[in-house]
Amino acid sequence: MRISVARTCGFCTGVNRAIRLATSEINKPVYILGELIHNERVLKSFAEQGILTINLEEALKLTSGTVIIRAHGISPQVRAKLNETALKIVDATCPNVLKIHEIVKKGVKQGSKIIIIGNGKHPEVIGINGCADGEAIIIEDENLPSFEGANSYICVVQTTFNEKQYNIIINKLKNNIKLLVNYNTICYTTKVRQSEAEMLSLQCDAMFVIGSKISSNTCKLYELCGRNCKNTYLIENIEDLTKVTNKIGIQKLGITTGASTPKELVMEVILVMSSEVESVKIEDCAQEVAAVDTTATEAVNVEVKKATEVKKVKTERKINNMEDVMNASVFGLREGKKVKCTVIKADSTGILVNFGGKKDGFIDSVKAGLENYDASQYKPGDVFEAVVVENKTSSKECIMLDKRVIDEVLDRLCEKKNRC
């Protein structure tokens, strides 16, 4: 079996930024307004670090702490309510979403009516609609409402909307509305993720879309892949792999993920697959898009111009065992790489280790294992394995590591062996 992993697997830049802001906030307790990402394990780890997910009603009752606005953003009305509390507000709204808020606010000021193409129940769309005082026309699919009168309309689109469907809708709108200014606000990351998923699903005889059923962009990828590949599976967790009944018959498997799926979950899926079939080869499926101008301008009928020269880059690694899976740098930048660590010291905050690199590594106490952390269990010189979770640490002294994914995978393999 060959496994092709989309280069865009893992968190998008907006989600990464939100996680960084939440985890680096020192003004505790930290609350997130709505789920920061759709992944149970990561949310559990947040809770262990004192970062709790709450809703607006709960936030309004709080008297102290920090509230994080997640990447989807919020409406100006909700922001005004939060401003009235004593909470410190950390705004992790993705800049791509903020740009849409600005377009809509400006359009409303100029007297235009607003059209939003997207899922009306999604928090991002609710937040954007708030910028239009809740009066935007929301279009979810090709079925358009009737447009009467000589109004001028401004149209924006949810950042994770399917681009092909967007093009169909926008062409229909142009035929129905005389004065239409449309902004293609689908984010660059989404476009590349969708185009990689499309390419993989055309080439593979099975596709895994790893992510949550409640994640809009994961569902869009699932739909998109399902159109090209009938053996497309939405994998939320390792247990879902039992639904894949014809594993042995798969010659080429494609893997992509939603924007809020951690890379560690991809690694676990690959590992489980490689333990179930005799031979697995992983190839990075990378697309380099030369230049994509995603900046919406104010000209009438602006279409985002795509100067896209797609270059396919493939590298291949043969996978025979767990060692190979963990060492396969399918995620670029070496994040996700397994390293052998030697303990330097351990205290209540975590474990400082050396792993042969220029910098030392640090494993936060909540990432040290599946059981409750006990610093006394780690003595200088002890050796174990962990996974690099953040290596963009030029300003920090240590590379951040996580030991849980190794422990979890080893647990699973032991369980499986015991069952056999």
Q: Is the dihedral of CA 29, 35, 36, 41 positive or negative?
A: positive
221 or 319: whose CB is closer to ligand SF4? 221
Contact 325, 274 (CB under 8 A): yes
> Shortest distance, CB of residue 159 to ligand SF4, whole angstroms?
4
46 or 378: whose CB is closer to ligand SF4? 46
Among 5, 59, 97, 326, binds ligand SF4 (CB under 6 A): 97
- Contacts (CB under 6 A) with ligand SF4, residues 372-411: none
Binding status of residue 211 toward ligand SF4 by CB under 6 A: no
- Contacts (CB under 6 A) with ligand SF4, residues 234-273: 259
Q: Which stretch binds ligand SF4 (CB under 6 A): 40-48, 93-101, 274-282, 345-353?
A: 93-101
The rounded distance, in Å, linking the Cα atoms of 368 and 344 is: 14
- Contacts (CB under 6 A) with ligand SF4, residues 7-26: 12-15
21 or 253: whose CB is closer to ligand SF4? 21
Q: Binding string to ligand SF4 for residues 63 to 82, with x set by CB under 6 A, is what? A: --------x-----------
Give me the active site residues, please: 124
Q: Binding string to ligand SF4 for residues 169 to 198, with x set by CB under 6 A, is what? A: ------------------x-xx--------
Among 129, 159, 232, 256, binds ligand SF4 (CB under 6 A): 159
**Cβ within 8 Å of residue 5, ≥6 positions away:** 255, 266, 270, 282, 283, 284, 285, 330, 331
Cα within 13 Å of Cα(353), Cβ side: 30
71 or 409: whose CB is closer to ligand SF4? 71
SS3 238: helix
6 or 12: whose CB is closer to ligand SF4? 12
**Cβ neighbour number for residue 144 with a 10 Å cutoff:** 15
The rounded distance, in Å, linking the Cα atoms of 150 and 317 is: 60
SS3 62: coil
Task: Note the helical H segments in 210-299.
Answer: 216-228, 263-276
User: Smallest Cα–Cα separation from 355: which of 323, 326, 385, 396?
Assistant: 385
Give the residues lining the site for ligand SF4 (CB under 6 A): 12-15, 71, 94, 96-97, 159-160, 187, 189-190, 259
